[in-house]
Amino acid sequence: MEHLMAVVLAAGEGKRMKSKNSKVVHTVCGKPLIKWVYSAVKGAGVEECVLIIGHKAEQVRECMGDHVKYAVQEEQLGTGHAVMQAVEYMQGKDGTVVVLCGDTPLVTTKTISNTIKFHRENNNAATVITAVLDNPEGYGRVVRDKHGNVLKIVEHKDANKEEKNIKEINSGMYCFKIKELIESLKEIRNNNSQGEYYLPDTLEVLIGKGLKVGAYIIEDSTEILGINDRVQLAEASEILKKRILLRNMKAGVTVIDPASTYIDEDVKIGMDTVIYPGTIIEGKTVIGEDCVIGPNSRIVSSKIGDGVAVHQSVIMQSSVDNNTSVGPFAYIRPDSIIGKNVKIGDFVEVKKSVIGDDTKISHLTYVGDAEIGKNVNLGCGVVVVNYDGKKKSKTVVENNAFIGCNVNLVSPVTVKENAYIAAGSTITEEVPENALAIARSRQVVKEEWVLKKGLHKKD
């Protein structure tokens, strides 16, 4: 069987991004640019991927890890020179190599697969992916003969007036027979205005040898858009966002206002869930069926069960089980586990805590580093005092306990099953099962005190 591999160019400096970071590690819709390209490649069945790195190489390595092989381009001397660095990985292999750019996150698995199929069916030595643009400014032009065969690719800066009028452009993405690519790279030269080795020059070498070079025109020209600055980054994000929303809506998710809704690529949402305007869902979040999310909510890398409502709230790296209500204006901080049929009400903050099934935390409460049992009621204004200035400690409230309003639970402390705590208490010691704890001063009334102090206010 033919070997199928990819070489992805990611060595450029990307000066126009004006960033301390490598261009290809900038993210759109939850993924670095380079990972979008890699995902499209792997989806097309490519067995081996070689990444050409150079500028900020350590950042690219950290981003991609051991998913790919690496070749280093010490000096950026053009696209042809970049591919030369991968020759060691191609030697002795018979098959097809796809060459892509690491800053083109919009290219799809479908396009790569169709190009490979076109390339093989036509027995091409090389196939260039092209598009027809109304404004081809800046792109290399595809020059064809009168029969429609590809003659050469001319870079914009090297094109003459007639060539600049051509609308079909080179995407910078190719398929080659591996052996033909290796041989043609040996013959390209850098006698151009930039003194660089251009990969498209390999096409002329192949044509000069009588080998067949084809062009696969894609219908959606947005797929070839490269990212060179923050404006183009935003434009790519908008296109990808629409693709993601469309996919979710076709899968049975209702998105009330797509224009004001942001969902990352790796998010999974169940059927009949409704997403209200102003909602942001990021990371590897999984949301179940029949949920109501939003308006104006943010969920990051969390697991949300079925039938959950999240209104105007934030959930970070946590889980919320079935039929629970969160918000409005609640904040679920990382490492929290919220059970079934729970109410997390308005202005409630939960941090690194477990909340049992059927528990109610209705409003104005802070729960941190705590384990709250099942069917517990935490009244308005309850505070778990988890920090003593040096370390965090744990509070445990067991099943069926009732915590009155404005209670402070000073960690570490345990409230046993079925215990009650009177409103306004500050609890520092264990409360036994079935007990009532009152930790407040007895009320004292001093008659006429306001008059005696001269504090009475006249109407």
Pairing status of strand 343-351 against strand 360-368: parallel
Dihedral angle computed from the Cα positions of residues 108, 113, 115 and 118, in that order, rounded to the nearest 10 degrees: -150
Give the model confidence (pLDDT) of 287-338 as tens digits: 999 999 999 999 999 999 999 999 999 999 999 999 999 999 999 999 999 9
- Which secondary-structure segment (H or E) carries 36? helix 33-43
pLDDT band at 157 (very low <50, low <70, confident <90, very high): confident
Confidence of residue 177 (pLDDT cuts 50, 70, 90): very high
Beta strand 402-403 with 377-378 is: parallel
Q: What is the pLDDT of residue 351?
A: 98
Residue 158 has pLDDT above 90, yes or no: no
Query: What is the Cα–Cα distance from 224 to 286, expressed in whole angstroms?
Result: 30
CA 356 centroid distance within chain: 31
Both tokens of 134, joined, read 């109304």
pLDDT at 113: 97
Q: Peptide bond before 277: cis, by omega within 30 degrees of 0?
A: no
Question: In which band, very low, low, confident or very high, does the pLDDT at 13 lie, cut at 50, 70 and 90?
Answer: confident
Overall average pLDDT of the 68-73 stretch = 97
Is pLDDT at 230 greater than 80 in this prediction? yes
Q: What is the pLDDT of residue 149?
A: 79
Structure tokens at 140: 């290399």
pLDDT higher than threshold 70 for residue 374? yes
Q: Residue 18: is it exposed, middle or buried by C-beta count within 10 angstroms (0-12/13-18/19+)?
A: exposed
Strand partners, 27: 32
Is 153 or 427 the better-scoring residue by pLDDT?
A: 427
Residues of the chain with CATH 2.160.10.10: 357-459
pLDDT over 80 at 163, yes or no: yes
229 vs 141: CA distance, rounded Å: 22
Geometric angle at alpha carbon 181, from 180 and 182, rounded to 5°: 95
Structure confidence at residue 192 as a pLDDT band (50, 70, 90): confident
- The verdict on whether omega for the bond into residue 328 sits within 30 degrees of 0, i.e. cis, is yes
Give the CATH fold of the 3-224 domain. Spore Coat Polysaccharide Biosynthesis Protein SpsA; Chain A (3.90.550)
**CATH number for the segment(s) 357-459:** 2.160.10.10
Quote the pLDDT of residue 146.
81
Q: Could you give the residue range(s) of every CATH 3.90.550.10 domain in the chain? A: 3-224
Average pLDDT over every residue of 386-403: 97
**306 touches 323 (CB < 8 A):** yes
Alpha-carbon Rg for the chain, nearest whole angstrom, is: 31
Residues comprising the chain, all counted:
459
Contacts of 220 (CB under 8 A, 6+ apart): none
Residue 75 pLDDT > 70, yes or no?
Answer: yes
CA dihedral 40, 44, 46, 47 (to 10 degrees): 110
Q: Distance between CA 197 and CA 420 in Å, rounded? A: 79
| Bridge partners (DSSP) listed for residue 28 | 31
273 and 267 in contact (C-beta within 8 Å)?
no
Tokens 């051509």 belong to residue: 166
Beta bridge partners of 325: 309, 343
Mean pLDDT across the chain: 95
> Is pLDDT above 70 for 431?
yes
CA angle (280 as vertex; 285, 305 as ends), nearest 5: 35
DSSP 3-state assignment of 301?
Answer: coil
Active site (catalytic) residues? 363
pLDDT of 193 above 80: no
Cα 255 vs. chain centroid, distance in angstroms?
Answer: 19
Q: How far is CA 415 from CA 334, 365, 383, 429, 436, in A?
A: 24, 17, 14, 9, 10
Task: Answer yes or no: is pLDDT of 148 > 80.
Answer: no
Q: Is 451 left (phi over 0), alpha (psi -120 to 50) or beta?
A: alpha
Q: Is pLDDT above 90 for 341?
A: yes
